[in-house]
Amino acid sequence: MPPEERDLIFEFFLIVLAIAVVFDLVFGEPPEFLHPVVYFGKVINYLDPRARRLGSGIASGVVFVIIIVIAGLLPLLIILTAARLFLILDIFVSAYILKSTFAIRSMYEHINKVIGPLELGNLEEARKELSMIVRRPVDTLSEGTICSACVESLSEGLVDGFIGPLFYFPIFGIPGSIVYRIVNTLDSNVGYKDSRNIRFGKPSAILDTVLNYIPARLASGVLTISASLLALRGFIPHYSDVAATESPNAGWPMSTAASFLNVKLEKEGHYIINEGHNFPTVADVRASMRLYGVSCLIFILVWILPVLVLRTVL
């Protein structure tokens, strides 16, 4: 490939990424009827009962994953290919689809809806808003456990909602980010260990775990760098905290955030991270929001840009 063409590809990737991030920060999530992730969810809901007619075992789950990935990816690849007719159209269509795979602003909006009522002493409203972003009973949660859930959501969301999809962008381009988001959406729908999904959803859960393996550990490093820049005087998490969660990935960002915020995180009946410390306060949640934002920027600087440069050189 001629150097001029390599430079153009590098510039294209950078411009698409920049527009996607600006789009996210300014407008947030696209409307539902134009959101690719909403489309993924509808395809999953439509094909789920039909795929189960083949059986509820692992083999049926594997077939389901393959069908959903193809059904989710193919239309977007057709759109991306058609957009190449015009450079400007190509840039903005690519940026729009890439943006749909990650979220920054919406994370802040969700957390603000929880801590806003907390600051007014309205626990009921805070619990109601929290129920929109976590999968746990919220009726009896205290202010401390509500704040804990917020910090946990921000930490996990850094991987699922930003680092995960964009980890694959400089390697495989937009299709890599799309596949990540499809698999992550699949796991959110069928990757449970209840009687209905324990076998059928296992392939989705395993694939999601594999795709998140490096991003989760990279997130821990990014959070450590960000914490030092924000002068958070914490410490590197103990491995027992990293391994406290049932997920082999979730403990990495959560334990790192908890360590540098010097707070305890707990999901009752499942895990306690950084035991011996106090639950986070609203101020700690706001600190974790700053940590989230800086970490997004640091990830672009330490992963996306270097990998794009490496691709250009090679």
Residue with tokens 């990816």: 73
Average pLDDT of the chain, as a whole number: 94
228-234, Cβ contacts within 8 angstroms, sequence gap of 24 or more? 229/294, 229/298, 230/287, 230/290, 230/291, 230/294, 232/260, 232/261, 232/287, 232/291, 233/260, 233/262, 234/259, 234/260, 234/261, 234/262
- Residue-range definition of the domain harbouring residue 282: 3-313
Global pTM exceeds 0.85: yes
* Residues contacting residue 199 through CB under 8 Å, at least 6 positions apart: 56, 57, 58, 61
H-only helix segments in 28-104: 36-51, 58-83, 87-99
Q: φ and ψ at 272, to 5 degrees?
A: -130, 130
Tens of pLDDT, residues 132-177: 999 888 999 999 999 999 999 999 999 999 999 999 999 999 999 9
Residue with tokens 């393996």: 213
Consecutive 10-residue averages of pLDDT for the chain (314 residues): 74 96 97 95 95 91 96 97 96 98 96 96 95 90 96 96 98 97 95 89 96 97 95 82 91 95 93 93 97 98 95 81
Rounded to 5°, the CA angle 127-134-72 comes to: 140
DSSP 121: T
Total domains present in the chain: 1
Contact 140, 201 (CB under 8 A): no
Closest C-alpha to 203, from 54, 20, 60: 60
